[in-house]
Structure 1
Amino acid sequence: MSDRPGQVYPAQYEAQLTDKINQLRMAFEPVYTGAIDVYASPDAHFRMRAEFRVWHEGERSYFAMFDPENPRDPIEVPDFPIGSETINRLMPLLMEAIHQDSELRYRLFQVEFLTTLSDEALVTLVYHRKLDETWEQSARDLAENLGIELIGRSRKQRIVIGRDYVTECLVVNGQKFRYRQIENSFTQPNAQVCEKMLEWAIQQAEPLSGDLLELYCGLGTFTIPLSYQFDRVLATEISKTSVRAAEHNLGLNGIENVVIGRMSAEDFSVGWRTGEGRRIKEYQLDRYQFSTVFVDPPRSGLDDDTVELVREFDHILYISCNPETLLANIQALQSTHEVKRMALFDQFPYSHHREAGALLTRRPG
């Protein structure tokens, strides 16, 4: 087996997925023994974003990645089969242009790709030098020739050629949802599995009612489809860029029953408990009839204050990129809530990484 980054091994995929299912089942056995919904990934071309170092050796340059155990030795990456077909189509074309144009090549340090299922692409070129008008003209020619959006970055510089975003279209249960995805903002890396995550979340929410609180809403990936299942939604997010994207995406999808609040989950939890703070008062929480909270936290999971916040809801819908912190949070909630459903989402085939979903409901009495 080659150890070159980004390779795929379809013959091994089912066995690896079975291992992940068994690991998740064993880990959560103390808190859940029911069925686990499993959502597999395509076995190739599933990753919609990627970044590579650009390594220069004499007159030749190439895309490179590094083994953490040998961080000084670049591994050439001529193609990237786990990456989207768009990434793989663009890689050789971009490298050919870099070799042909010294303005594009000189002190180019890194290349980042952001692509969509509809073949849109945003490419960011990162440099260790100041970018000038000569570079900008070369970049414009490159963007036009390849049909891409392009950004040049260097210290204290960000030059946008075209747009600084792509628009993704995800289809869930036959319904299309559109999302503006901005450079350097968080997006789900595996778009086809993301569609399945949305499908599962909607399925869990269908029997529920009332209003929804969402924490860590990002650019509204879950907010928008879930808004159809609830009367009103209050969604919070700390990143300014993500809040702006989320508000744009609400309009893009014609959603009118969602309020986006710029606030961290931790600050919101404190404000919820104390009722203090300008923003908390602006949200007029007493106008909502909350029944459900949806969370998609970072790898660290929910902090203690947020655990106590979600405990106050009848239903907790939880998407996790780290099953270990998900388990810890569930164990902290066991006195009041029980797990009714779990799912495994294989966002990252050929890796140990697992993403999980859980629906928790308040215990009787």
Structure 2
Amino acid sequence: MALHRVNTDNYQQQLDQKVDRLRADFAPFTDLEPEVFPSPPSHYRLRAEFKMWQEGGRVDYAMYKQGEYKKPFVIDEFTVGSRRINALMPPLLEAINQSEILRKRLFCTEFLTTLSGDALITLIYHKPLDEVWEQEARALQASLGVPILGRSRKQKLVLERDYVIEQLEIDGRTYQYKQVEGSFTQPNGDICRAMIHWARSCCDDNSGDLLELYCGNGNFTIPLAEKFRKVLATEISKVSVNAAQENIAANGVENLDIVRLSSEEFTQAIDKVRPFRRLKDFDLDSYDFSTVLVDPPRAGLDADTCAMVARYPRILYISCNPETQLENLKALSKTHKVARFAIFDQFPYTDHTESGVLLVKK
């Protein structure tokens, strides 16, 4: 099935197959029926990247099959993409083809949009961007009414801003997020909202403090903060930490601190293996961590981090790779049992699925 054009009639069938597969995969750890969160069947993806196919003095959006990078599929629609992306694609392409300056050596276009309607377009080139390009790009920006960002080797030219502002309504409250171009954000906005709602519901009967590893821009951290006395979150990316600090202020959260550390470094700090200057203003002994939230990269938790989180009464583990989550569960199930199990269809019509488990101490 071409990912730019999908048959929505098959959506429920493909979701059922994923659920059946994951139910069987998780059977050694739980017999709970999974809580399933479906995606909208179309227009669910808030980010998109297109290669730009240059031929005969014209440029078109193109996609490639994996491993076949010399055989482009020229596309004129992207039904998995947000409606905002689809609305911007035709006028952007027309404007680029009318300007040799904008078209020449353009090899990639990226769209970043939000559920609340904000958008940012990044044009990426195999040439330096000069004042002439900037003048043309500013005219394009004005005609589209959308910020344009230019990139080339060792060059980033921001004409207005390099971020979008998302607004998510969750449990009767609207949360605001600054999402910076090039940094990680959840690609499926409806599933992101569902994951946050589910995570909050897992903490309704909780007390004590929250520790979060891999917090990104505060996507989960900020809505969860009101469920706890204090929250300490860690993230290694400087861009994400800076965005998270702005998001904390924008949402008026006062019981949350973020420190720039990797999960491995935090494990060393909490074990007092070595001190970190970035923690000099934090008294780790003052926290009473009752819950730890992890949403790690695809590699899952390393052995030391896995052992560290196993100390806490409750582990909320959201995973973009159920295979590595299952590997971690082999260790975590020695001390914890699965109290809740969720499946999030982040990427419909693909083999990819995200999963969540709430683990409680045995």
Q: TM-score, normalised by structure 1?
A: 0.97
Quick check: 233-242 or 262-271, which moved more? 262-271
Cα deviations by residue, 1:39-94 (Å, 9 ceiling, x for unpaired)? 00000100000000001101221001110142210111211000000100111111
Equivalent position amino acid for 2:152 in 1:
S
Which residues in structure 2 correspond to 1:96-175 (within 5 Å)? 96-175=94-173
Residue 116 of structure 2 contacts residue 168 of structure 2 at CA under 8 Å; is this kept in 1?
no
Residue 4 of structure 1 contacts residue 77 of structure 1 at CA under 8 Å; is this kept in 2?
no
> Which residue number corresponds to residue 18 of structure 1?
16
Q: Which ranges of structure 1 fall in alignment gaps of 5 or more residues?
A: none
> Which residue number corresponds to residue 47 of structure 1?
45
Equivalent position amino acid for 1:39 in 2:
F
Distance 1:329 1:205 in 2: 22
Residue 213 of structure 2 contacts residue 235 of structure 2 at CA under 8 Å; is this kept in 1?
yes
SS of 1:143 mapped into structure 2: helix
> Which residue number corresponds to residue 331 of structure 2?
332
> Which residue number corresponds to residue 293 of structure 2?
294
Cα deviations by residue, 1:214-254 (Å, 9 ceiling, x for unpaired)? 00000000000000100110000000000000000000100
Equivalent position amino acid for 1:354 in 2:
T
Residue 291 of structure 2 contacts residue 314 of structure 2 at CA under 8 Å; is this kept in 1?
yes
Residue 259 of structure 2 contacts residue 279 of structure 2 at CA under 8 Å; is this kept in 1?
no
Distance 1:301 1:239 in 2: 17
SS of 1:112 mapped into structure 2: strand
SS of 1:72 mapped into structure 2: coil
SS of 2:29 mapped into structure 1: coil
Cα deviations by residue, 1:243-293 (Å, 9 ceiling, x for unpaired)? 000000000100010000000001111221125212345321011111000
Query: What is the CA distance between 1:10 and its match in structure 2?
Result: 1.1
SS of 1:319 mapped into structure 2: strand
Matched, 1:31 2:29: yes
Query: Residue 4 and residue 26 in structure 1: after superposition, are their counterparts in 2 closer, same or farther (change >3 A)?
Result: closer
Query: What is the CA distance between 1:106 and its match in structure 2?
Result: 0.8
Equivalent position amino acid for 1:351 in 2:
T
Residue 61 of structure 1 contacts residue 99 of structure 1 at CA under 8 Å; is this kept in 2?
yes
SS of 1:291 mapped into structure 2: strand
> Superposition RMSD on alpha carbons, in Å?
0.9
Give 4+ residue runs of structure 1 displaced > 4 Å after superposition: none
> Which residue number corresponds to residue 258 of structure 2?
260
Distance 1:154 1:209 in 2: 49
Distance 1:160 1:281 in 2: 35
> Which residue number corresponds to residue 362 of structure 1?
361
Percent of aligned pairs with the same residue?
51
Cα deviations by residue, 1:319-364 (Å, 9 ceiling, x for unpaired)? 100001111111111111111110000010111100000000000x
Matched, 1:213 2:219: no
Equivalent position amino acid for 1:353 in 2:
H
Q: Which ranges of structure 2 fall in alignment gaps of 5 or more residues?
A: none
Cα deviations by residue, 1:198-224 (Å, 9 ceiling, x for unpaired)? 100000011111000000000000000
Q: TM-score, normalised by structure 2?
A: 0.98
